[in-house]
Structure 1
Amino acid sequence: MRSLLAVLLTLSPGAVLAQETPPAPEAPAAEEPPAAQEAAADADVDERVTSTEGKVSSIEEQLAEIKSALSPLTKLKFSGYVQARYQYETTREDNTGGFSRFTVRRSRLKATYTGDIAQFMLQLDASPTAVSLRDAEATLFIPGTKQDQALTLGQLKWPFGYESVQSSGDREFPERTRVVRAFLPDERDRGLRYSGKFGVFRVSGGVFDGNGITNPGSIGVDNDKEKDVLGRAGFDLKWISGGISGWFGHTIAKGPTDTNRRAYERSRLGADVQLYLDFLPVGATAIKGEYIRGTTFLYNGVEKFGRPASGWYGLVVQNLGISNAVAVRFDHFDPANGTPTLADANDPTKPAGTNATDTIGLTAIHYFGEHLKLSATYEHPMTAVVAEAKDPHDDLFTLQMQARF
C-alpha cells in the first residue's frame, strides 16, 4: 500500500505540470517561391483575357448580324412633301370663272433604293380625290462607269428642257409656265431613258410612248404603235448651265375634222440656260430662261393635233439672306404660230382661243428652316385682244405652305 501511494504521489506533479504547460506553436507554413506566385498570377490574367476575348467575339458576331440586317436599310431613302394652298382668282367681267378655295395640290411620298449597280424608285401622289402613280423607275448603272451612266425603264420624266425636269418641291412658283404645261403636260411618260455624265457635259435621251400619263386619249396605256424619240444635250459649269432639247414623233388620232384616224407630227425643239451669280451683298441671284416650239400639244385640256405653237419664259430669283427670296417671272405662249390676233367667232367681246397669252408673276418666299417654306404668289395673265374684245380678268393669288422631309 505504501508503495502504491508513493508512486501516485510521484506521478501527480508531472500530470499537473503537463496540464499547465501550453502546447508548442505550430511551425509556419512554408511560403511559395516567387516564381510560383508569378505563374499563378499569369494564369489568372490569361483566364480573364480569354474570358474577355470570348465576350468581345460574341459582341462582334452580334454586331455583324445587326449590320447585315440593317445594311439594306442604309441604301433605302424615304422622302416627300406636301403643298397645301389657298387660292383666289378674280371673277371675269361676264361673271364667269373666279373662286376662293383651299386645296392640297401635291402630297408626294417617294422611296428610293440605291445599290451598286441598280436603283429602284417609286413615287406616289395622294390628292383629295385619288392616289396616283407618279414615278416607277428601274435603273441599271452601266458597269465600269461609277454610276455616271445609267439605263432606266418605267414611268419617268421626259428628258427635255429644264423646268419640266425640275422638282415641284424646288420650283419657286407654284406651277410651271404655260408653255411647259402645253408641250410637256405632267412631265412624265412610260419609256426607256439613257443618262450620262461626261465631265461638265450631260446627255440624256430615250424612247417613249409620247402621250404622257394624263392625256385624255391614253390614260394608263398608249393609244397607238408610234413611239417618240427625245433627249437633251447640255453642260454644267456650276455657275452656268444649259442645253438644247429635241423631240420627234407622231401620234395616230382622230382630229376634230377627221373621218378616220391619221398620223399627226408631234415634235419639239427647245433651248434653256441657267445663270447663278453671287455679287450682291443681300444674297445670290439666279437668272433662268427657256424657249420651246413644236407641233401637237395639250392646251386647256384639249389636244391640238398638228398645230404649231411656241413659247418662252424668263425668271429672276433674288435671295435675301438665308431665309427669304423674291422672284419675278414672265412667260409667253402662242398656241397658234402664224395665226393673227382675233376675236372669238361666237362672241366678239372675247379673244379667240388662238391668241397669245403673256403672264407676269411675282412671288415672295420665306424659309422656316430646310423643311418648311411659305410662298405668296400673284400672277397676271394678259391675253392678246383685238377690236372690242377684252382681256379677261383672271388674275390669280396663291398662298402655299410646303413641308418636306
Structure 2
Amino acid sequence: MKRLHSIALIAAAIPLLSATALAQNAPPPDDADVEIPAEPAPPPPVSPRPAPPSSAAPEARPAPPAQAAPPAQAAPPTQAAPLPPSAPPTQAAQAAPAAKTEVEVLREELRATQRRLEALETRAVETPRTTAQAAQVPGKATQVPGKAEEPVVRPFLERLLVPGAFRLSAYVQAQYESHQDSEDQVLQGGALLNQDRFLVRRGRLRLDAAWQYTELGLELDGSTTRGPIFGVRRAEASLLLREEGWDGKPRLRGVRGEAVPRAMLTFGLSEIPFGFELVDSARERVFMERSTASLAFFPGEPDVGVRLAGGLGFFRYALAVLNGEPVDDRPSSPARDPNGAKDLVARLGADARATEALRVSGGVSALHGTGFHAGQDATKGAVQWRDLNENSAVDPGEVTALPGSAATPSQNFTRWAVGLDAQIRLRTPIGEAMLYGEAGIAQNLDRGLFVADPIASGVEVRHFFYYGAFVQEITRFGLAGFRVDHYNPNADFLDPRGGKLVPTAQGITTLSPVAGLVLPGRARLLFQYDAILDALTRDARGVPADLKNDRWTLRLQVEL
C-alpha cells in the first residue's frame, strides 16, 4: 500500500521537477538579474488508490460509502507529506484532471519566463551596439539605459583617427545690371563699353571636411563677369584645436558664426583677415558687392599664404603672412607673386552677447606689405617721322632720331593700412537687425581702381575710407537695407586750375538702398540701386563734376 502511494507521488512530481530544472538552467543575460524560485511549488495532492484485497484478510463486508478526503496541505520539503486515507476509484479519477490542470499552469508560467529571458538577451546584445555607435561621435556623451550619462573619454590616437564629417554646399548668383554710363562703343584697344547685360556673378561649389584636429576646404567658382571663367576660389588645409564638446560636424565659415576654435593654423588659398567686409561670405552678404574702398584695396578676396586664427571666450585674433597679390579674375592680375617680400595682416577683436537678443563685435586691423614697380626693357635707337603739314610726303624737319634707352630695374615700395570695424546685431519682433561699419586710412594700397605707384608718380599716395550699413529682416521672408560708403583715393590730390595747383577732393560716395524677398535657406531675390556721387568728369569750365554713372542690379540667388 505504501509503495503504491510513493509511485503515485513520484509520477506527479516528475513534470514539475523537469520544468523547474529547465528554468534554473536557462542562462540569464549579462545585464539583467532574473530570479527563479529555488524550490518548485509543492505538487497538488494525489488521492490514493484503494488497497487490493489481501488473502489473509477476512471476508470483506459491505462498507458504508466513504467520504471525500479533505485536500492535503503542503508539507515542508524535509518532511514527507502524510498519506490521506483511502478513497474510492471514482474520486481518484476525478483528482487526476485537476493535477494535470496545475501542471499546465506551471508550464505556461515557464513559457512566459522563457520569453522574458529571450527579450532580455536581445536587449543585452543591442545595448552595446548602440553605445558603440554613439561613441563614434567625438566629444559626445554616451548614455546606457538605466545608467547616468557620462562623457566618453577615448585615447588620443583613437580621437585622432575618428572618422570625419563632410558637407557639400553650393550657390548661384545670376543677375541683370544696368549702368548709366553704358555705351554701345569700343575703347581704344578693343574694350567694350556696354554694361547693360545678364551675367552669372558667382557660381560656387564648396566641399568641407572635418576631423578632430584637421579640416579641409575646397571651393570652385564660375563667373561670366569678364568672360566665362572657372577656377579655384578656396583651397585650405588646417590644423586646429577645438573647443570642448565638438558635435562632429564641419563648422560654419565666415565671421557671422559665433563658435570658433581655440587655435587654427591654415595653409593655402584663404581669405585675408582685414576688417569685417572682406572676410564676410558673399553668400551671406546682402549688398551686391563690397564697398568701393574694399574693391580698390583688395580686387580679390583670397590670397595664398598661412594664417593663424582663433578665439578664447569673447576674444578673437587672426594673423596671416600672405603673398600680397589677391587672387581675382582680372586678365591683368599677376599669375604669381612678383617679389620675395610678404604682406603681414593682423586683426584683434572681440565678439560677445550682451543679452540673449543683443550681440556686439568689432576689431582693429592692420596691414604692412611691399608693392612692386616693374622695370622697363632696354630699347634700340629708332627713326620717327611726323607728317607736320599732313601732305603725306617726307619734308625736311619731319624726321627725328630717337636714341635707345637702357633697361630700368624693378623696384619695391612700402604700403600699409589700418582699419577699425564694429557690428551690432539685435533680435527684434520682426526679425534680426544689423548695424555695422568700418573706417580707416592707407598708403599706396590701391590695386584695383586708381592704382597707386609712388615710383612712377614720385609721391606717396594716401587713401581714406569709411562705410556704414544697416540691414533689417522683415519677418523670415523679407529684408531691407541701406549702405553709404566713401572712398578718397588720393587725400593729397592737387588739381591744376588757371596755372595753379588747387587741393581737390577726389572722394567717391555711393548710396545703396536694397530690398528683397527671402525663402529661408533656399533663395533670395534682391534689388539694389547705387547712386554714385564723384568728381570724375569736368564741366564746360573745366571744373571737376559728377559723372553720370549710377547703376541698378536685380539678382536671384539660389543655394544648396
- 1:256: how far off? 9.0
Identical columns (%): 27
Instruction: Report the 3-state secondary structure (helix = DSSP H, G, I; strand = E; otherwise coil) of the residue aligned with 1:237.
Output: strand
Q: Does 1:112 align with 2:227?
A: no
Instruction: Report the 3-state secondary structure (helix = DSSP H, G, I; strand = E; otherwise coil) of the residue aligned with 2:493.
Output: coil
* Residue of structure 1 equivalent to 2:508: 357
Instruction: Report the 3-state secondary structure (helix = DSSP H, G, I; strand = E; otherwise coil) of the residue aligned with 2:453.
Output: strand
Q: Does 1:332 align with 2:486?
A: yes
Q: Distance in 2 between matches of 1:341 and 1:234?
A: 40
Q: Distance in 2 between matches of 1:355 and 1:315?
A: 22
Q: Is the 8 A contact 1:112 1:121 kept in 2?
A: yes
**Post-superposition CA distance 1:39-97 (Å, at most 9, x none):** 2456578798579958985997799699979x977611122211111112224599784
Aligned 1:217-256 pairs, distance under 5 A: 219-238=334-353, 239-254=359-374
The amino acid across from 2:167 in the alignment is: K
Q: Does 1:264 align with 2:413?
A: yes
**Post-superposition CA distance 1:103-144 (Å, at most 9, x none):** 111111111112111111111112352321111111111489
Q: Which has the larger radius of gyration?
A: 2
* Residue of structure 1 equivalent to 2:80: none
**Post-superposition CA distance 1:183-220 (Å, at most 9, x none):** 12212111111112122111111211111113767644
Instruction: Report the 3-state secondary structure (helix = DSSP H, G, I; strand = E; otherwise coil) of the residue aligned with 2:293.
Output: helix
When the two structures are superposed, what TM-score results if normalisation uses the length of structure 1? 0.78
Q: Distance in 2 between matches of 1:216 and 1:321?
A: 42
Aligned 1:288-367 pairs, distance under 5 A: 288-298=436-446, 300=448, 303-306=451-454, 307-340=461-494, 355-367=506-518
Aligned 1:69-80 pairs, distance under 5 A: 75-80=165-170
* Residue of structure 2 equivalent to 1:20: none
Aligned 1:81-100 pairs, distance under 5 A: 81-91=171-181, 97-100=193-196
Q: Distance in 1 between matches of 2:523 and 2:426?
A: 25
Q: Does 1:200 align with 2:314?
A: yes
Which residues of structure 1 form unaligned runs of 5+? Answer: 1-28, 344-352
When the two structures are superposed, what TM-score results if normalisation uses the length of structure 2? 0.58
The amino acid across from 1:231 in the alignment is: A
Instruction: Report the 3-state secondary structure (helix = DSSP H, G, I; strand = E; otherwise coil) of the residue aligned with 1:247.
Output: strand
**Across the two proteins, how many residue pairs are aligned to each other?**
367
Q: 2:324 aligns with which of 202, 210, 213?
A: 210
Q: Distance in 1 between matches of 2:300 and 2:230?
A: 15
- 1:336: how far off? 1.4
Instruction: Report the 3-state secondary structure (helix = DSSP H, G, I; strand = E; otherwise coil) of the residue aligned with 2:305.
Output: strand
- 1:173: how far off? 0.5
The amino acid across from 1:319 in the alignment is: E
**Post-superposition CA distance 1:208-256 (Å, at most 9, x none):** 1111113767644211101111111111123221111101111232279
How large is the RMSD of aligned CA atoms in angstroms?
3.7
Q: Is the 8 A contact 1:86 1:400 kept in 2?
A: yes
Instruction: Report the 3-state secondary structure (helix = DSSP H, G, I; strand = E; otherwise coil) of the residue aligned with 2:212.
Output: coil
Question: For residues 230 and 261 of structure 1, do their structure 2 counterparts lie closer, same or farther at Cα, with a shift above 3 Å needed?
Answer: same
The amino acid across from 2:463 in the alignment is: A
Question: For residues 378 and 113 of structure 1, do their structure 2 counterparts lie closer, same or farther at Cα, with a shift above 3 Å needed?
Answer: same
Q: Is the 8 A contact 1:192 1:207 kept in 2?
A: yes
Q: Which one has more relative contact order, counting CA pairs under 8 Å at least 6 apart? A: 1
Task: Tell me which protein shows more strand as a share of its residues.
Answer: 1
* Residue of structure 1 equivalent to 2:526: 375
Q: 2:230 aligns with which of 111, 127, 131?
A: 131
The amino acid across from 2:493 in the alignment is: T
